[in-house]
Structure 1
Amino acid sequence: MSRVDEKSPKDCAKKRFNFNKFHKKFFFAFSTFLLTILSLIFLIWLTLHPTKPQFSLKDVNIYQLNLSRLNLINSTIRLTLSSNNPNKKVGVYYDVLQVYASYKGQIITRQTLLPPFYQENEETNLLSASLAGNQVPVAPSFGYEVGRDQRIGKLVLTLKVIGRLRWKVGTWVSGRYRFNVNCVAVLPFNSIPSGPLSSKQGTVCSTVV
């Protein structure tokens, strides 16, 4: 008579227990490894802690600022910005840079796209942009605001830069971060187009990342 081996319910339960225990150990080891990597990245980031780039407006010239009866404006503006990376161990990739001008909260030029570039640590670069507005719609009060500033003899123009950047630490490169730059230029308001409105006084801009 042949012998039949049968596993008891106790043995099966024991095997199921060992199988689940293996999965728990694997999950715990993987979680520990992932947490260690994330902690290391965070520690590097916290130690270096990149400082946001600094922008300043070097000069700005308004060559055209004409308003039609239909509340459409034509404008031509040229400007030079200085961009500085104050970090000692962190580089900056500027992937997107768009510049435009506004007056009294109203946009008067189209967005101009500047070429992307990489900025080394503690490096300073000059950025030049030509802004133009062709039949840009403005509020009915725009003409009154321009006339009042002309009587006062002072025009306050806002230059804005919006874009995306990435930090570079050694061989590690971060994800993209949005940034906004806001520059205010005060120009003597005499006459256009007999002569451009110009300002060459360096103005520190505010930067938000």
Structure 2
Amino acid sequence: MENIRGSTPLAPQKGPASRRFGRGVACCVCFCAVLCLFLVCLIISAGIAALIIWIGLHPHSPHFTIQSVQVPTLQVIQPSPAGSHKNQTSALVDVDIIFSIEATNPNKKIRIYYEVINVYTLFSGTQIGQTTQVPAFIAGHQNTTFLVAEVKAQNFPVTPSVSTSLLSQIALNAISLQTHVDVKAKVKFGIYKSFSFWVHSHCDIIVTPPTSGHVAGHLQSPSCRMLA
């Protein structure tokens, strides 16, 4: 009868499969390093190209100024005394203000596509009237375009304190308003069109109220600046 004896198992040895696995890992690491280097070079090249374009084009933001204002309507209705109209707790304003706005593209080589132009007016930090939107348009190189925006509302609610202050300035024949022009635009040069960006203009203006003879109020002094 043949004796069966136990034997010590041989330790596994590294074969061709292990060497192939090691080479695969090395190739993967090398590929990732080359890819990262390529992306870094691409980002640097894009930055250099953008700098060259900026130096060549000298881009400037468009700016907006208010040229004239007409105020056909500006009427304040104070809250009714107690017991007259119990539901009226705020003052009301009827307003109709027409703005002539100068939009300037100062760039020699860049066209500007104005996508959205919103105009609204505040008195003492409180908006009076609805926000109005000017139709979109494209401004050519060094182009100046005159826009008309009408801020209008009837029975627009404001607080009694705002209405009292507004009535005081109407009596003094000088009303301080803040007019905002918020613009969403793109720049175009050649076949390139940028991403959309916002430009904000803030104008402090003084206007006269309409007279009892139905003569519209007008602009006394404007002061406009760009906001960040």
* Preserved CA contact (<8 Å) 2:209 2:216: no
RMSD: 2.5
Q: Which amino acid aligns with 1:106?
A: T
* Preserved CA contact (<8 Å) 1:72 1:138: yes
Match of 1:143 among 127, 138, 163: 163
**Percent identical:** 21
Match for residue 179 of structure 2?
Answer: 159
Evaluate the alpha carbon distance shift between residue 32 and residue 61 of structure 1 in structure 2; reply closer, same or farther with a 3 A threshold.
same
* Preserved CA contact (<8 Å) 2:206 2:221: no
Match for residue 75 of structure 2?
Answer: 66
Q: Which amino acid aligns with 1:191?
A: T
Q: Which amino acid aligns with 1:74?
A: D
Match for residue 34 of structure 2?
Answer: 25
The reply on whether 1:107 has 2:127 as its aligned counterpart is yes
Match for residue 206 of structure 1?
Answer: 225
Unaligned residue ranges in structure 1 (runs of 5+): 1-5
Within-5 A mapping of 1:121-140? 121-140=141-160
Unaligned residue ranges in structure 2 (runs of 5+): 1-14, 80-90
- Structure ID, larger Rg: 2
The reply on whether 1:48 has 2:50 as its aligned counterpart is no
Match for residue 196 of structure 2?
Answer: 176
Question: How much does 1:62 deviate?
Answer: 0.9
- Matched residue of 2:29: which SS? helix
Give aligned pairs, total. Answer: 203
Superposed structure 1 runs of 4+ greater than 4 Å apart: 8-12
- Matched residue of 1:83: which SS? strand
Measure the CA separation in 1 of the matches of 2:127 and 2:21. 75
* Preserved CA contact (<8 Å) 1:164 1:176: yes
Question: How much does 1:36 deviate?
Answer: 1.4
Deviations 1:30-89 (A, max 9, x none): 442343134312432355342121222111111111222340111111111111111122
- Matched residue of 1:141: which SS? helix
Measure the CA separation in 2 of the matches of 1:15 and 1:143. 78
The reply on whether 1:97 has 2:106 as its aligned counterpart is no
Evaluate the alpha carbon distance shift between residue 9 and residue 122 of structure 1 in structure 2; reply closer, same or farther with a 3 A threshold.
same
Measure the CA separation in 2 of the matches of 1:75 and 1:155. 13
TM-score scaled by structure 2?
0.77
Measure the CA separation in 2 of the matches of 1:103 and 1:87. 34
Question: How much does 1:100 deviate?
Answer: 1.5
